[in-house]
Chains A and B, each alone.
Chain A
């Protein structure tokens, strides 16, 4: 524990950790010193001058260093000027006065100065109702303006900084929180001030504008209505909104969110989600979320939502009752006997997956996890366990990121890893191409696609990088699927698990393996016992297939072909997809916004989400649908209570042992304090009142012997002459079904199919950046726009997943310029 310091604030004696600033110390004991530029997560700058207070320091005897005592108490010397509470660090014996006439005059003055140029358009401002400036104007502002209205500056009211964030230059108070967030916390320095004095304006100098996947957070910490999101501006007033706790489903990080809802006239008075806001969980996402999580939620309210069960009659899908539809499904499942195959995705909650698992076990069927990535068998053995938190990683910790572009695959992990590196953690990035994380790393290793296992095994060798790994007190490895298919990522995972286990980095807090999975609950599926199948097309060919939360027909022409030859297809999903169109039975599932349940994040943290909006049509939660089908098959499954289902899960899956909904709902005190009446302090992020979740136990801590499966992957396929090795990579904004539903908002960022080539490879082909080429491999044929990347090897072509060219794994490809 750090050294403690005792000081007096407004007559209250407080003891706080050494090194913090006065404003934070006051906050800890419930005294709110008004601030604008100060944010507890940013470095102090002392520029807005809102937090001026009187600060006195005890006089010390020059010879002895002891306090000089006067009238029985230490003699306190006050500075003649007011001082900023946000830049002065606490000292023993310090006396802070925040409520004296002198201090209040300082605060009044600053508010008046800020209002000289501010339009005071609160009645039409999106921030109105949750605006620090509005609140402080009410508290400290003058009732009457001494500034002549006609002399106010007229500035731009709708200045787009990018296509997601809009700046109102009149409302901006030049606190630089947004700029400092982008520079200090994210490392994407894409906005800054232009001009000076009263002409100071925020501008973006990136192309495209505000080119950062964290841009939405600046609107939360903006203490006025200067920065708004294109999604929410002019949509609703904050006081009309209800707030429901949720978990983001866009990747495996599991960011805690709050869904703000209200009745929406344009939706015929239905309750809809108006915006997604971060909810504080300092162990997961702190007070941030990425733009995909913030903006790509619109699919839940899409017109393509499935509202009632349908069955195929005379080659057409027609509405049916739940009973008829589930009965038809059940009859076919029973009839199929061991030709019954279930595909589940990480969209499903732990409870849903548990029901499916039980159904599979009690029938003659087989269940697979629908994912392009393997390796979950080992993350459930040597993954992160209780008490792990990136925030506690710094000096002494080594973080390895291998085969992953974290910025694109799991932005908040990128942020957390970057910050751990800022705190002194050793960051080793192993990747075949340059990624944004390289800038913050101590070591970068560039291996050739196919050599990822070797480069991980090299971590145990006696080299400088090896020493940085083996001699670390704590070590974490994040592995992804950059350039890898199922076999490749499974092999990589086992190699990672092996070096972690050999180094004693398994089964203890802040150590272990993290899979950078595609979906929110892939880890949960692995824990519950689902596995991936490399040759899925073969596994479903001619079978009776129950597909839950997946769209194989859109994803992969080979799977589409296999499903054409399936005996019977039941599809359960939230939305109409290409796969529901070929189904024999379609079952409408509730979106995560409509129901409750839990997800297990990549860090193996189980977290609850809650219903926020009414159910669409007759849709049911996935676990209930599975239960209803099971009942027709003579299998009894819990179908109404998620908490009872979770209890069943906790009894039968070892890593969940001891967990319950009550445990997951616990909250611990967090710093900084946010989301209360004083939004100026932490921003508009929500306080966590609905649970911070709990991490699963690791096999090693349970006293089990852990055997890491040895996987020797086949060599990567060798391209023939004139062929390139096409490898899959992941982009944050892909053309996946859920993202495309928010395409209006994200259109400039999504784009189309691309292929990245080394400049020499492009030259060999006679193509330039931006030109369209034809790409064909393994039954896939399509066009893609050429991008150049001089960090990859000449024989490789990068193809983003879910962007129009269905790539599952490294594959030799023909690339031809278009005529």
Chain B
């Protein structure tokens, strides 16, 4: 099947301006700016059923329509922080297909009336930032960015901005704080960014992959896009497959593809032909899906179906865990990550992740006592529903589902003491 997002895999040198232009590049953008009203653009995106690819799956068109039109200027921020362990799709899109992402970003800016867009990249993406700066400069030279575009009144400029190495800055309000030059810590919500965002102005924040979907939607229409994927989750998704599989990597597939197809058809199956014990469908933030039944692997990967097996699809960074992995070890790894990345702003996350990392460390090292597993579960549940942002909540997902779905692993771990 021809790629919609990873088109560079089909067409050589797709990340050069000429090749991109030759393949209808920027036609959707030009058409939108010269022939459509912003509301019409938003309506097409709404009709397409496109949902945010950052993890929350919020309807993109609806987000755009929330922007406060009584307060100006408007901003758009592209979330290119891509920090979730197991997620590496945005990087490939930006490296291989940068213009489609930038075109989508430009169309979004037009739709919400933003004249400035910021691309917030994780600190480690400094080479990528320089690469994008070059692409942005090329677009300016070609008249796709700048003042009075396509002979009309619309002006647009884009800037890249590098983070300084904090997972929390992938959270949209922490990203705004960081972009403003402050400590990257999430804000209290409400107010939400579409009414109070960057510098207190209405702001739309979307993921890189979300923007990359926009040009084909405008070029081929909402109905075409809706025909891909499932009723609940329209279109295609880049699945980042990792863990104990033979061929890890990014796979662009329609929503509704099953875990089995992804792992066995595309990923080449599990290493050493072992069996799948668990799946984390959304990186380290995931609940652990218990694969005790072959039928679990036949679950279609769309937002609604994954929920039926007790997890969220999130950013679709599918980590495959085979039967050699002990869950107390795995949970220790995820908790360690969140303890390291907690920003420290709210009490439950700052203290809870620290506490959990102490307990999981004890258990993993064989110093745990049976009461520790109950305590760990209790602490995780005590954090739930109380944190300021989603990071704290995420840190408990693997812990709670690990203990509840794989009790034997924990029992074994503490019986050694």
Residues of chain A having any CB pair with chain B under 8 Å: 44-50, 52, 80-82, 84, 87, 106, 109-110, 112-114, 116-117, 146-148, 151, 153, 173-174, 192-193, 195-200
Q: Nearest residue in A to B166 (C-beta to C-beta)?
A: A196
Residues of chain B having any CB pair with chain A under 8 Å: 166, 168, 183, 188, 339-348, 350-355, 358, 375, 382-383, 385-388
Given known contacts A45-B188, A148-B358, is B386 in contact with A197 (CB within 8 Å)?
Answer: no
Chain B residues with CB below 8 A from A195, complex form: 344
A193 contact from B168, B188, B344, Cβ within 8 A: B344
Chain B residues with CB below 8 A from A106, complex form: 386
A82–B351 CB distance below 8 A = no
Report the bound CA distance from A48 to B344 in whole Å. Answer: 10
Q: Nearest residue in B to A151 (C-beta to C-beta)?
A: B358
A197–B340 CB distance below 8 A = yes
A116–B343 CB distance below 8 A = no
With A114-B351, A197-B350, A198-B350 given, name 15 new contacts (CB 8 A). A45-B345, A46-B346, A47-B346, A47-B347, A48-B347, A49-B388, A81-B386, A109-B386, A113-B348, A113-B350, A116-B354, A174-B347, A197-B339, A197-B354, A198-B353
A200–B354 CB distance below 8 A = no
Chain B residues with CB below 8 A from A84, complex form: 188
B248 → chain A, closest Cβ, in Å? 30
- Listed A/B pairs (18) with beta-carbon separation below 8 Å: A46-B346, A47-B345, A48-B346, A49-B388, A52-B386, A82-B386, A109-B386, A113-B350, A113-B352, A113-B382, A174-B347, A192-B183, A196-B166, A196-B168, A196-B342, A196-B344, A198-B344, A198-B351
Report the bound CA distance from A117 to B353 in whole Å. Answer: 12
Chain A residues with CB below 8 A from B351, complex form: 113-114, 116-117, 198
A173–B344 CB distance below 8 A = no
Report the bound CA distance from A196 to B340 in whole Å. Answer: 8
Chain B residues with CB below 8 A from A46, complex form: 188, 346, 388
B387–A49 CB distance below 8 A = yes
Report the bound CA distance from A193 to B345 in whole Å. Answer: 10
Chain B residues with CB below 8 A from A148, complex form: 358
A196–B386 CB distance below 8 A = no
Chain A residues with CB below 8 A from B382, complex form: 109, 112-113
Report the bound CA distance from A87 to B339 in whole Å. Answer: 26
Considering the complex of A and B, which 3 residue pairs feature the smallest CB-CB distances, nearest first? A200-B344, A113-B351, A197-B342
B347–A114 CB distance below 8 A = yes
A47–B388 CB distance below 8 A = yes
Chain B residues with CB below 8 A from A173, complex form: 347
B183–A197 CB distance below 8 A = no
Q: Nearest residue in B to A87 (C-beta to C-beta)?
A: B188
Chain B residues with CB below 8 A from A87, complex form: 188
A198 contact from B168, B342, B348, B388, Cβ within 8 A: B342
Q: Nearest residue in B to A50 (C-beta to C-beta)?
A: B347
User: Which of B342, B350, B353 has most chain A Cβ within 10 Å?
Assistant: B350
Chain A residues with CB below 8 A from B350, complex form: 113, 174, 197-198, 200
B169 → chain A, closest Cβ, in Å? 11
A49 contact from B339, B348, B353, B358, Cβ within 8 A: B348
Report the bound CA distance from A153 to B358 in whole Å. Answer: 11
Q: Nearest residue in B to A198 (C-beta to C-beta)?
A: B354
Report the bound CA distance from A44 to B340 in whole Å. Answer: 26
Q: Nearest residue in B to A36 (C-beta to C-beta)?
A: B347
User: Which of B342, B383, B386 has most chain A Cβ within 10 Å?
Assistant: B386
Q: Nearest residue in B to A84 (C-beta to C-beta)?
A: B188
Chain A residues with CB below 8 A from B339, complex form: 197-198
Report the bound CA distance from A174 to B346 in whole Å. Answer: 8
A190 → chain B, closest Cβ, in Å? 15
B348–A109 CB distance below 8 A = yes
Chain A residues with CB below 8 A from B345, complex form: 45, 47, 174
Q: Nearest residue in B to A148 (C-beta to C-beta)?
A: B358
Chain B residues with CB below 8 A from A109, complex form: 348, 382-383, 386
A49–B343 CB distance below 8 A = no
Q: Nearest residue in A to B345 (C-beta to C-beta)?
A: A47
B348–A116 CB distance below 8 A = no
Chain A residues with CB below 8 A from B343, complex form: 196-197
A174–B355 CB distance below 8 A = no
Chain A residues with CB below 8 A from B342, complex form: 196-198
B354 → chain A, closest Cβ, in Å? 4
Report the bound CA distance from A184 to B148 in whole Å. Answer: 40
Chain B residues with CB below 8 A from A193, complex form: 183, 344
Report the bound CA distance from A174 to B351 in whole Å. Answer: 11
B339 → chain A, closest Cβ, in Å? 6
Chain A residues with CB below 8 A from B388, complex form: 46-47, 49
A81–B347 CB distance below 8 A = no
Report the bound CA distance from A147 to B344 in whole Å. Answer: 19
B354–A80 CB distance below 8 A = no
Chain A residues with CB below 8 A from B340, complex form: 197
B6 → chain A, closest Cβ, in Å? 35
B62 → chain A, closest Cβ, in Å? 16
A631 → chain B, closest Cβ, in Å? 67
User: Which of B339, B341, B343, B348 has most chain A Cβ within 10 Å?
Assistant: B348
Given known contacts A49-B388, A82-B386, A197-B341, is B353 in contact with A110 (CB within 8 Å)?
Answer: no
B347–A113 CB distance below 8 A = yes
B388 → chain A, closest Cβ, in Å? 6
Q: Nearest residue in B to A102 (C-beta to C-beta)?
A: B385
Report the bound CA distance from A146 to B376 in whole Å. Answer: 10
B188–A116 CB distance below 8 A = no
Chain B residues with CB below 8 A from A81, complex form: 385-386
A448 → chain B, closest Cβ, in Å? 37
B235 → chain A, closest Cβ, in Å? 30
Report the bound CA distance from A198 to B344 in whole Å. Answer: 6
Report the bound CA distance from A45 to B168 in whole Å. Answer: 17
User: Which of A81, A109, A146, A195 has most chain B Cβ within 10 Å?
Assistant: A109
B347–A197 CB distance below 8 A = no
Q: Nearest residue in B to A195 (C-beta to C-beta)?
A: B344
Report the bound CA distance from A199 to B353 in whole Å. Answer: 12
Report the bound CA distance from A46 to B168 in whole Å. Answer: 17
Report the bound CA distance from A292 to B348 in whole Å. Answer: 39
A44 → chain B, closest Cβ, in Å? 7
A82–B385 CB distance below 8 A = yes
A107 → chain B, closest Cβ, in Å? 10
Report the bound CA distance from A46 to B349 in whole Å. Answer: 13
Chain A residues with CB below 8 A from B347, complex form: 47-50, 110, 113-114, 173-174
B358–A199 CB distance below 8 A = no
Q: Nearest residue in A to B387 (C-beta to C-beta)?
A: A49
Report the bound CA distance from A27 to B292 in whole Å. Answer: 53
Report the bound CA distance from A174 to B341 in whole Å. Answer: 16
Report the bound CA distance from A106 to B168 in whole Å. Answer: 24
Q: Nearest residue in B to A175 (C-beta to C-beta)?
A: B347
Q: Nearest residue in B to A150 (C-beta to C-beta)?
A: B358
A197–B344 CB distance below 8 A = yes
Report the bound CA distance from A148 to B344 in whole Å. Answer: 21
Report the bound CA distance from A176 to B166 in whole Å. Answer: 20
Q: Nearest residue in A to B168 (C-beta to C-beta)?
A: A196
Report the bound CA distance from A153 to B339 in whole Å. Answer: 14
Chain B residues with CB below 8 A from A117, complex form: 351, 354
User: Which of A87, A116, A173, A193 has most chain B Cβ within 10 Å?
Assistant: A116
Chain B residues with CB below 8 A from A196, complex form: 166, 168, 341-344
Chain B residues with CB below 8 A from A146, complex form: 375
Report the bound CA distance from A117 to B344 in whole Å. Answer: 13
Report the bound CA distance from A384 to B246 in whole Å. Answer: 82
Report the bound CA distance from A195 to B164 in whole Å. Answer: 12
Q: Nearest residue in B to A52 (C-beta to C-beta)?
A: B386
A147–B353 CB distance below 8 A = no
Chain B residues with CB below 8 A from A114, complex form: 347, 351
B185 → chain A, closest Cβ, in Å? 8
Report the bound CA distance from A44 to B350 in whole Å. Answer: 19
Report the bound CA distance from A81 to B384 in whole Å. Answer: 9
Report the bound CA distance from A49 to B388 in whole Å. Answer: 8
Report the bound CA distance from A200 to B344 in whole Å. Answer: 6
Report the bound CA distance from A114 to B352 in whole Å. Answer: 9
Report the bound CA distance from A200 to B345 in whole Å. Answer: 9
Report the bound CA distance from A542 to B28 in whole Å. Answer: 97
